[in-house]
Amino acid sequence: MPQRQVGPFQVGAIGLGCMSLSHAYGQPPAAELGERLLLAALDGGVTLFDTAALYGFGANETLVGRVLKPHRRRFTLASKGGLAGVQTEEGMKRVIDGRPESIRRNCEDSLRRLQTDVIDLYYLHRWDKRVPVEESVGAMADLVRAGKVRALGLSEVSAATLRRAHAVHPIAAVQNEYSLWTRNPEIAMLDACRELGATFVAFSPVARGFLCDALHDVTALDAKDIRRHMPRFAPANYAANLMLLPAYRDLAGEAGCTPAQLALAWLLHKAPHIIPIPGTTRVDHLQENLGAAGVKLQAALMQRLEALINQNTVAGDRYSEQSNREVDTETFHEWRCSGS
């Protein structure tokens, strides 16, 4: 596995997003299947494992901690706070809370579930817009000084927010969505990360399964699958997006790889400070994803690929209106309206 840098750590060029083992895409796999996948990732050269307090309302951190504790020295552990589950009368509810006391509590809870004394890379999962980001990052910096966290990151933020946070404490990584069909980081974030020396960690790099060329009937998605609430997966939009796949499949054939590998290889070729973290629940898909590290793409094919799938050819927004209000990332609509 080729290596890339994130903060003080050398990690495999492709990491593992652990979320789907406990959260988001319908019924999660049985615990023994999750254990098998985590160990297969470790054996396959993955050295960046990404989880969060939110995923499964703690269940994902518990799984990662139990399975990987014996191998703790072999990998870089990333988790997130500032967005967690809170018990209500109606059950568990996700709450964005960036107050310093909440971040400290989230971190202590995560350390316990992960069965570790220190989290290597600790992200602010969402910027709580009711709290200045400087205050939230200041609390995270205190965790570094206390030896509970080694490096800091931000998730779903804009370049401007990154710069504000970086002025308080160096930010080692920004984790935003980035794939062929979500190109928002190209507006400003990739350049800002390069300038500040931060790694860009790309989540949903295979477009939540779309670029795997395996999801053709969105009406069959589980009732609790979060994609049911995403505009791009609404039946009419998705039908339009499916029209992009035949040509995309042909490009994968030209590159001598699978569609999923093409999506990941594209990210690896975009810049050396990008690390994709695809998630999966299947060992064969994991092995396929890791194979993308060996795929070589010619510049001409990259250009054709980018012309085929981009913000102008994809139907639907990436998030609902409510979810868009919760994030801070740049959008092409705002960028165009600003005259940039």
Catalytic residue IDs: 55
Q: Which of 171, 139, 174, 168 is nearest to 156 (CA)?
A: 174
Distance of CA 5 to the CA centre of its chain: 17
In order of 36, 59, 66, 275, 310, the CA distances from 71 in angstroms are: 14, 19, 10, 22, 40
Separation between Cα atoms, residue 307 and residue 165, nearest integer Å: 34
User: Of 124, 119, 183, nearest to 147 (Cα)?
Assistant: 119
Kindly provide the residue ranges of all beta strands, DSSP E only, lying in 38-186, ordered along the sequence: 48-50, 76-81, 83-88, 91-96, 119-124, 149-155, 171-177
| Residue 214: both structure tokens together | 């395996």
Contact 144, 173 (CB under 8 A): no
CA distance 222 to 154: 30
SS3 236: helix
Residue 85, beta-bridge partner list: 94
Strands (E) in 9-75, as ranges, are 9-12, 16-17, 48-50
Phi and psi, residue 209, nearest 5°: 100, -20
Structure-block tokens of residue 162: 């990154």
Half-sphere exposure of 24 (CA within 13 A, CB side): 18
What is the C-alpha to C-alpha distance for residues 69 and 65, in angstroms, rounded to an integer? 5
Handedness of CA 158, 159, 163, 166 (dihedral sign): positive
